[in-house]
Structure 1
Amino acid sequence: MADFDRYGTCTHTAEDLVRLVSACLGVAFTERESDYRGVYHVADLDGVRVEVQPNEIPGDDEDEPCNAANPECHVLVLTTTPLPDPTLRTRLESVEGLVHLGHESV
């Protein structure tokens, strides 16, 4: 089973969010680059994966939002945990300007 949460902001840049989430969770992010996702940041800690990425995904003609339901959020924070983690959610929701956008368990 895996648990996924999606957060977004329209007030912070990706770099700001990396700094804020690093301080909030005590994790270090690694910058990565992908043709599909653009530049994004990843932190792994004890089975928890946290990613900070732009909502606009680079494309051939025009950028398309990764999260089309919330195009106003220009930066996303994505979390993957083995089980629901209410403590992680509470800590991330304490970051000013970061809003919980969705949850999925599979």
Structure 2
Amino acid sequence: MTDYDTYGTSTHTASELVHLVTGHLDVVFTERESDYRGVYHLAQGAYGRIEIQPNSIPGDDSQDDLYTPEHPEVQVLLLTNTPVPEPTLHTRLGAIQGLAHLSRTSR
């Protein structure tokens, strides 16, 4: 079973969140660009896959869309994808001021 968690912040920019998460988890992010998602940051390692991206993503009609429309107030998202439950990951992310856990899905 894989866990998918979504965190969000309106306190930090994507770059600031990359710096904070790097310090809390000792991971290395690489910047990526996608036509669908825009610029995002990706880290893969012991905790699984971690992505940081803006909530606002490029839309087809030259208008930005929200990646999580149910959370329009959130400016930056942190997405995790872990093959097994990772309580240490969630504890460490929970220690970052201004970062809130928004949802979890298990498949």
TM-score, shorter chain, exceeding 0.5: yes
User: Identical aligned pairs, as a percentage?
Assistant: 57
Partner-residue secondary structure (3-state), 1:31: strand
Gap runs ≥5 in structure 1: none
- 1:78 and 2:79 equivalent? yes
Deviating 4+ runs (over 3 angstroms): none
Q: Return 5+ residue gaps in structure 2 as ranges.
A: none
Mean alpha-carbon deviation: is it higher for 7-16 or for 44-53? 44-53
Note the C-alpha offset of 1:61: 2.6
User: For residues 3 and 42 of structure 2, what CA distance do their matches in structure 1 show?
Assistant: 17
What residue number does 2:38 align with? 38
- 1:1-106 equivalences under 5 Å are 1-46=1-46, 48-59=48-59, 60-106=61-107
C-alpha distance in 2, partners of 1:8/1:63? Answer: 18
Give TM-score scaled by structure 1 length: 0.96
Aligned CA-pair RMSD = 0.9
Q: TM-score, normalised by structure 2?
A: 0.96
